[in-house]
Amino acid sequence: MHLKPVIAANWKLNHTPSDARAFLQRFLAQAPKLHERTLIFFPSAITLTTVVDGLKDRPEIWVGVQNVHLEAQGAFTGENSVLMARDVGARVVLVGHSERRHVFGETDAMTTKKMALIAQARLTPMLCVGETLAERESGQTTEVVERQLRAGLSELDDAQIGSIMLAYEPVWAIGTGRTATPEDAGEIHGGLRRALVSRVGEKAAAGIPILYGGSVNRGNASQLLAAPDVDGLLVGGASLDADSWASIVRA
Ligand code: PEP
């Protein structure tokens, strides 16, 4: 199956609501409706409603949140919930982004719980997996990403797994200017696809988009997208500028 590529912008802790309005004005002026791509924006929770409003005439563009709390509601000051995300129009939730894992100490057990919570709320979880440089250099890449994948899927049934998105984001490539080669990305994505096949079968696994992320820019986007089993791109730094983003979505 050839999947429609998913091109996603992770704005991290950037872009105020005013910045987002200016970005969308510039980006939408040069981005006619793209039938052959699924575009997703992951703004901060505070900027989310501004982005949803700015895209009200472009319902084909999805909006997501970068994180949700482990519980759907309660006494958790400062957190954001999956129910709130859904209520304001988010359709996707990033889970286990490397910054959540390495800056905020998110564990596999936490990603397990979040994946289940998000699937139950009928939103699409986008599970991020990826090895550190030390893990890569000691030959543990496959073991690490497959362990993170198993944890993320462990409380989902087959139908829920069929509706997820997956992102391979080598930690050493995020925000560093270093990217995996298309060959490396294709090899890891192929391994992730095989792991999905053994969990849910050929047909369901073929329908799960596996995105690559890690220093994607307008110069390398189309080559990475052409690699085998690379069904999309998750882009941080290069998604912050409207012109750069407009050329990446056309990659
Ligand atoms: C990311 O934040 O998911 C990411 C891939 O960042 P960058 O493109 O800046 O490496």
Chain centroid to Cα 228, Å, comes to 18
pTM: 0.97
pLDDT at residue number 244: 97
- Segment 29-33 mean pLDDT: 89
Decide: 220 in ligand 1 pocket, CB within 6 A.
no
* Catalytic (active site) residue 97: yes
Encoded tokens for 68: 């949700």
- Segment 26-45 mean pLDDT: 93
Kindly report the CATH number that applies to the domain delimited by 6-28+35-249: 3.20.20.70
- Segment 33-44 mean pLDDT: 94
d(CA 210, CA 185): 10
CA of 128, closest atom in ligand 1: 3
- pLDDT-above-70 percentage for the chain: 100
Q: How far is the CA of 98 from the centre of ligand 1 (A)?
A: 9
- Segment 27-39 mean pLDDT: 91
Tell me which residue has tokens 């599970």: 127
Chain centroid to Cα 157, Å, comes to 21
Burial of 19 (0-12, 13-18, 19+ CB in 10 A): middle
d(CA 212, CA 8): 10
Reported confidence tier of residue 192, pLDDT bands at 50, 70, 90: very high
pLDDT digits (tens, 9 = 90+) for 113-163: 999 999 999 999 999 999 999 999 999 999 999 999 999 999 999 999 999
pLDDT digits (tens, 9 = 90+) for 211-231: 999 999 999 999 999 999 999
pLDDT at residue number 1: 54
Task: Compute the mean pLDDT over every residue in the chain, rounded to the nearest whole number.
Answer: 97
The DSSP secondary-structure symbol of 245 reads H
Would you say 210 and 194 are in contact if contact means Cβ atoms under 8 Å apart? no
pLDDT at residue number 31: 87
* Catalytic (active site) residue 15: no
Buried residues in 167-193 as b, exposed as e (16+ CB within 10 A): bbbbbbbbeeeebbebebbbbbbebbb
- Segment 35-47 mean pLDDT: 96
Q: How many CB atoms lie within 10 A of CB 102?
A: 13
Cα Rg of the chain, angstroms: 17
pLDDT digits (tens, 9 = 90+) for 69-122: 999 999 999 999 999 999 999 999 999 999 999 999 999 999 999 999 999 999
Encoded tokens for 96: 């286990």
Torsion of CA 197, 107, 145, 168, to 10 degrees: 90
Q: In this structure, which residue's CA is closest to atom 4 in ligand 1?
A: 236
Q: Which of 99, 106, 131, 169 is catalytic?
A: 169
Would you say 13 and 46 are in contact if contact means Cβ atoms under 8 Å apart? no
Reported confidence tier of residue 35, pLDDT bands at 50, 70, 90: confident
Would you say 82 and 68 are in contact if contact means Cβ atoms under 8 Å apart? yes
Decide: 182 in ligand 1 pocket, CB within 6 A.
no
d(CA 238, CA 245): 6
